[in-house]
A and B are shown apart, each in its own frame.
Chain A
Amino acid sequence: MSLQGPIATHRMRTGIPTGRLAVWWGLASEIFIFGGLIMCFLLFKFNNAPGFEDADMTSTAAGAFNTFVLLTSSLSIVLAHAAAEKGDIQASFRYIWFTIGGGLVFLLVKTYEYSSKIYGGITLTENVFWSFYFTATGLHALHVIGGMVIMGMISFDVRKNHNLQRVELIGLYWHFVDIVWIFLFPILYIANF
């Protein structure tokens, strides 16, 4: 057949490009996964499970700083998308790497938090609160890493003026990662509500 892959891929009955539609569905399934995790956390908390007062011990300052970093990186991926739309591939490339930088800063802060807890003797098995803390932030961090890798790959495509629509798609994903963090931050860092 043609070099373009199946004709099916290029049809657009809904008016929404197929790639974007698929990313939305993918994110929807992720929302149910993280939604379930957060729901479990809240159930434990409201049933007064032991250990949940330890939310006091997480560093609110580090969490807040990371929130700021992720929000900023979300802005820069929007700018990357806008630049790609205008065809300014150099600017788009730069903004993508700025976003990746944001992810990197986020991970460094996370590493600092993890190691200070672990050297302080608190690990995954301390109690149910800490199990949640490490599991939830760990899964989130894996999503950050995955996003950064994909962004890196997309950036080089962008520089060759290929597949510019993917900047928008990775942007959607990055916003999702951001939003998950916006939920994790209050329940794990702003302590006892």
Chain B
Amino acid sequence: MGQQAEAILHETEAHDAHHEMSFWDKYIFSVDHKIIGFQYMFTGLIMAAIGGYFAYAFRMQLAWPGEEVPFYGLVDAAKYNMLVTNHGTIMIFWVAMPVLIAAFGNWLIPLMIGCDDMVFPRLNRLSYQIFLVSALVLILSFFVTGGGFGGAWTSYPPLSAVAAYNLTNWGASLWLLAVFLEIVAFLLGGINFVTTTMNARAPGMGMMDIPIVVWMINIAVILFMASVGPLVAGAVMLFFDQRLGTSFFIPSGGGDPLLWEHLFWFFGHPEVYVVLLPTMGIVAEIITVFSRKKLFGYRTILYTAFGTGGLSFIVWAHHQFVAGIDPRMANVFVVTTILISIPIAEMLFSFIATLYGGSIEFSTPMLWALGFLVSFLIGGVTGIYLGASALDVYFHDSYFVIAHFHYTFFPITIIGMFAAITYWFPKMFGRMMDETLNKIHFWGTFIPFNGLFLPLFLVGMAGQHRRIADFTQYPDLASPDLQSIRIFATVSLVILLLFQFVFIYNFFNSMFKGKKAPLNPWKANTLEWTVSSPPPHGNFAELPTIYRGPYEYSVPGREEDYWPQHLAPNQ
């Protein structure tokens, strides 16, 4: 990637002073980490709306098969496949990653480590621009002849490789190109995040004084980099299979479709932790602040994150138990999969121990954080079932799997995102959000979320397969009981989606008309709360020096129950 090195090299060049800036320079071509964070956030939110809309369309089809879906139209089998595929792809690559890693990474890293920007501001901007192009390419792929790609977000060949099989000649290739560009954008952005955290910390901030969320984003970025490389190579090979007639993954030409599965899941499993860890970090920040207690086991949490990261590279074949791999290999992966639940459980226990005995305040961010813990627990525990190959042979590709991973992904992505937005909103926009509306939105999301996915465990156990457009075609699955469960889940989804309008209203209304926020509304210790809200270009009026770790709450003998990182010991 010559361009990559080039971009890096260019960044070391000094850049010009910022005089009065036009709208374009200030918001569109900005190199300010906060604006770039917003760009990622708003792009991610728009993509989330598209991904949610797709879920609405295909869930409506499942509840009332063959009927016209209001605001969408008829969902035939091909459309169904396209909707499911792009729903999954969008939620992972264009929502979870940009919002949790890129948006909050951009916003928080420089502020929390006490410097004025990322170390390579223009590389940062380039990363967003490539990301934006990737999103546009994906959206374009929905409209080409043949329609969007429908071969699942896992894109298994030969289905994904041969146009005569998938019937989406251009849709398949544009989908692949979009994913490729998205990966490039995050590799570039990741270099910036890691070098910034390593080199640009404020004086006095040792490794163990870095807020957990910054650590987690960095670990996630490194995991991503190490796991995605082989998939990049695989994506090039798959693209050649599609467009140039090679047969890397096509068995009739001597290729090996199973190889793609290995490449995909060698990335795909670590990717789960790539999105999980940032949310764990967000939750750690919120829980300590609203328990007014020191984070329990700062180092333990870090070591469990390293442990999880390391183990995540040797569990991938649990996605392939029924793909024809050697059963002895399957045993190995069962063991590693069960092992990986230990560090993650330990991390959750650290959070629970932090809560224990704290003076808990149930603010909206705290509700989201607690909601995350509760629901992620269900996702984690059901994962252990699926990690046992004996059970997975039955559960594989069923709605039990769908329910399991949505109990991990929904809390990570959607709940984690709302936790972060409601917590940092006062800093981002200088105004407070409306608490009442926020709480209505929380309950209006959290309850229907459970109403939506708990029933899916049941239909899964009854044998309902995923990626099927119309269950009335299958006598075993067409029974009225199962259908009424499907309708229940879909109605829950519609309620969930309707409550998002409360959030949208509250978000924009508070942004312009909300109560002015004090500098540090939550009385938190970390550095971002010392700058004015919203922070100006350059962030700090005077760059801070750090005297202690980020979690000194309720320190005995101190009058106030918090002790900001930048206050000198005698202050």
Q: Enumerate A1-40 residues with CB–CB distance to B below 8 Å.
A: 1-9, 11-14, 16, 18-19, 21-23, 25-26, 28-37, 39-40
Q: How far is the CA of A142 from the CA of B247 in the complex (A)?
A: 22
Pick the contact of A32 from B116, B225, B254, B255 — CB < 8 Å? B225
- Of chain B, the residue at the smallest CB distance from A173 is B5
Pick the contact of B246 from A12, A14, A50, A124 — CB < 8 Å? A124
B12 an interface residue at 8 Å Cβ cutoff? Answer: yes
Whether B187 lies near A29 (C-beta < 8 A) is: yes
- Of chain A, the residue at the smallest CB distance from B12 is A19
Whether B199 lies near A16 (C-beta < 8 A) is: yes
A-B contact count (CB 8 A): 199
Interface centre among A37, A50, A145, A153 (most CB of B within 10 A): A37
Q: Enumerate A44-101 residues with CB–CB distance to B below 8 Å.
A: 44, 47, 49-51
Whether B246 lies near A131 (C-beta < 8 A) is: yes
Contact with A along B1-23 (1 / 0, CB 8 A): 11111101101111111100000
Q: How far is the CA of A51 from the CA of B191 in the complex (A)?
A: 39
Whether A131 lies near B195 (C-beta < 8 A) is: no
Interface centre among B15, B110, B537 (most CB of A within 10 A): B15
Q: How far is the CA of A165 from the CA of B13 in the complex (A)?
A: 11
Known: A18-B12, A21-B198. A146 touches B230 (CB 8 A): no
- Of chain A, the residue at the smallest CB distance from B196 is A8
Q: How far is the CA of A150 from the CA of B244 in the complex (A)?
A: 29
Whether A128 lies near B116 (C-beta < 8 A) is: no
Whether B9 lies near A150 (C-beta < 8 A) is: yes
Q: How far is the CA of A182 from the CA of B231 in the complex (A)?
A: 22
Report the interface size class on chain B. 35 or more
Closest CB of chain A to B222's CB: distance in Å?
9
Known: A8-B119, A18-B195. A166 touches B201 (CB 8 A): no
Identify which of B51-59, B71-79, B233-241, B300-308 touches chain A. Answer: B233-241
Known: A8-B110, A135-B237, A166-B9. A21 touches B230 (CB 8 A): no
Known: A31-B229, A166-B12. A125 touches B116 (CB 8 A): no
Chain A residues with CB below 8 A from B6, complex form: 146, 149-150, 153
Contact with A along B320-347 (1 / 0, CB 8 A): 0000000000000000000000000000
Chain A residues with CB below 8 A from B196, complex form: 8
Known: A150-B6, A163-B13. A40 touches B263 (CB 8 A): yes
- Of chain A, the residue at the smallest CB distance from B115 is A8
Whether B198 lies near A13 (C-beta < 8 A) is: yes
Whether A3 lies near B16 (C-beta < 8 A) is: yes
- Of chain A, the residue at the smallest CB distance from B266 is A36
Known: A1-B116, A6-B119. A32 touches B246 (CB 8 A): no
Q: How far is the CA of A8 from the CA of B538 in the complex (A)?
A: 10
Q: How far is the CA of A150 from the CA of B196 in the complex (A)?
A: 24
Known: A3-B16, A26-B1, A170-B5. A40 touches B246 (CB 8 A): no
Interface centre among A14, A36, A132, A150 (most CB of B within 10 A): A36
Whether B230 lies near A36 (C-beta < 8 A) is: yes
Whether B237 lies near A25 (C-beta < 8 A) is: no
A122 an interface residue at 8 Å Cβ cutoff? Answer: no
B543 an interface residue at 8 Å Cβ cutoff? Answer: yes
Whether B2 lies near A142 (C-beta < 8 A) is: yes
- Of chain B, the residue at the smallest CB distance from A130 is B246
Q: Enumerate A115-133 residues with CB–CB distance to B below 8 Å.
A: 124-125, 127-128, 131-132
Chain A residues with CB below 8 A from B248, complex form: 40, 128, 131-132
Pick the contact of A14 from B18, B118, B199, B537 — CB < 8 Å? B199
A159 an interface residue at 8 Å Cβ cutoff? Answer: no
Chain B residues with CB below 8 A from A22, complex form: 8, 11, 119-120, 191-192, 195
Pick the contact of A36 from B12, B15, B247, B263 — CB < 8 Å? B263
Chain B residues with CB below 8 A from A154, complex form: 9
Interface centre among B2, B6, B116 (most CB of A within 10 A): B2
Interface of A is mostly: helix
Q: How far is the CA of A70 from the CA of B407 in the complex (A)?
A: 52
Q: How far is the CA of A35 from the CA of B537 in the complex (A)?
A: 41
- Of chain A, the residue at the smallest CB distance from B197 is A13
Pick the contact of A8 from B8, B117, B244 — CB < 8 Å? B117
- Of chain A, the residue at the smallest CB distance from B540 is A7
B28 an interface residue at 8 Å Cβ cutoff? Answer: no
Closest CB of chain A to B124's CB: distance in Å?
11
Closest CB of chain A to B462's CB: distance in Å?
39
A105 an interface residue at 8 Å Cβ cutoff? Answer: no
Q: How far is the CA of A14 from the CA of B207 in the complex (A)?
A: 11
Q: How far is the CA of A147 from the CA of B13 in the complex (A)?
A: 18
A139 an interface residue at 8 Å Cβ cutoff? Answer: yes
Whether B226 lies near A32 (C-beta < 8 A) is: yes
Pick the contact of A43 from B2, B227, B229, B259 — CB < 8 Å? B259
Whether A40 lies near B234 (C-beta < 8 A) is: yes
Whether A25 lies near B543 (C-beta < 8 A) is: no
Known: A40-B237, A51-B254. A9 touches B119 (CB 8 A): yes
Pick the contact of A11 from B201, B230, B233 — CB < 8 Å? B201
Closest CB of chain B to A64's CB: distance in Å?
25
Q: How far is the CA of A153 from the CA of B240 in the complex (A)?
A: 32
Pick the contact of A5 from B1, B15, B237 — CB < 8 Å? B15
A169 an interface residue at 8 Å Cβ cutoff? Answer: yes
Chain A residues with CB below 8 A from B231, complex form: 36
Interface centre among B118, B195, B254 (most CB of A within 10 A): B195
Chain B residues with CB below 8 A from A28, complex form: 225-226
Q: Please give me the 7 A-B residue pairs with the lowest Cβ-Cβ distance, nearest first.
A: A146-B2, A32-B229, A36-B230, A6-B117, A37-B233, A8-B200, A36-B233
20 other contacts beyond A18-B12, A36-B233, A43-B259, with CB at 8 A cut-off?
Answer: A3-B14, A3-B16, A8-B119, A8-B199, A13-B199, A22-B119, A26-B187, A28-B226, A30-B229, A36-B230, A37-B230, A40-B230, A40-B248, A47-B256, A51-B254, A127-B247, A131-B248, A147-B2, A153-B6, A163-B13
- 28 pairs from A and B in contact (CB 8 Å cutoff): A1-B538, A3-B16, A6-B119, A6-B538, A8-B110, A9-B119, A11-B119, A11-B199, A13-B198, A16-B199, A18-B12, A18-B195, A22-B11, A23-B5, A25-B191, A29-B187, A32-B225, A35-B229, A37-B233, A40-B234, A40-B248, A40-B263, A43-B256, A43-B259, A124-B245, A125-B247, A135-B236, A150-B9
